[in-house]
Structure 1
Amino acid sequence: MRDLLFVYGTLLPGLRLHAAMQGGLPRGPASCEGRLFDLGDYPGLRPGPGRVIGELYEVDDALLARLDAVEEYQPADPAASLYLRQRVAVQRRVDGATVQAWAYLYNRSAAGCARIPHGDYWRYLSERGG
């Protein structure tokens, strides 16, 4: 079965975990409501006002299971999970249509972490020089 996944951080093309997306079919740029935080080596999406920029992919159940491990999501123990895989409303940037897609939401407090105000991790890395 194929489904949609919204990615916004290190799974994006050109970034360090993108190889984990092998088998996913790119479906274009997208955004969702939320706040993006710099957690050090990776970003975290938390609910709240704002927009987060990313990419939409078509994925199958096997790829989602592999990504669950990468994102430290444990469906049987959500409280112990670093990220939770949840459905979010995603706006496709090509046509403005809103679709439902999976996304990995950071499952810890972001207190003390820098917010990425524009919600674009690629841009943030570019501005930081890396």
Structure 2
Amino acid sequence: MSSPLLFVYGTLRPGFDGPMARWLRSVAPAVGLATARGSLYRVETYPGFVLDDAGEVMGHLFALPDTAALFARLDEYEQCTVHFPEPHEYRREKVTVQTPDGPIEAWTYIYTRDVTGLERIASGDFLAG
């Protein structure tokens, strides 16, 4: 894959009908399903993804044809740009995800706050409830 990839696991996934999910589908080609090692937690009406070995998180991959422009909009959405107060709720980083064709690196947004007291989404699939 020539374009960088983005792994989405929550409100940006196909199947979620929010304005940012619709926007992402309109500007970035969907590549397919993927999973990542970690845990999902319910943070208000959206999930937080934490890297750990506790489970698998279900998500989708998108190719990012105009990485700088897309990350500018996505970082704003995830509130991890410089004008948001620190500590940011999310940070963007590369992770290894599993696809039907094997492991691949993709960018994603990692939840950075304490998850104590948050409900863990045991299935690892935000859309499954």
Q: Which runs of 4+ in 1 moved over 3 A?
A: 75-79
Q: 2:42 aligns with which of 38, 45, 61?
A: 38
1:1-40 matches, within 5 Å, as 2-15=3-16, 16=18, 17-21=20-24, 22-40=26-44
What percentage of residue pairs aligned between the two structures are identical?
A: 38
Q: Could you report, residue by residue, the CA deviation over 1:65-95 in whole angstroms, capped at 9, with x for unpaired residues?
A: 1101001112688943211001000111x32
Q: TM-score, normalised by structure 2?
A: 0.86
Superposed counterparts of 1:1-130, under 5 Å: 2-15=3-16, 16=18, 17-21=20-24, 22-49=26-53, 50-59=55-64, 60-61=66-67, 62-74=69-81, 79-92=86-99, 94-95=100-101, 97-124=102-129
2:6–2:107 contact (8 Å) kept in structure 1: yes
RMSD: 1.9
- Tell me the TM-score normalised to structure 1 length: 0.86
Aligned length: 122
Unaligned runs of 5+ in 1: 125-130
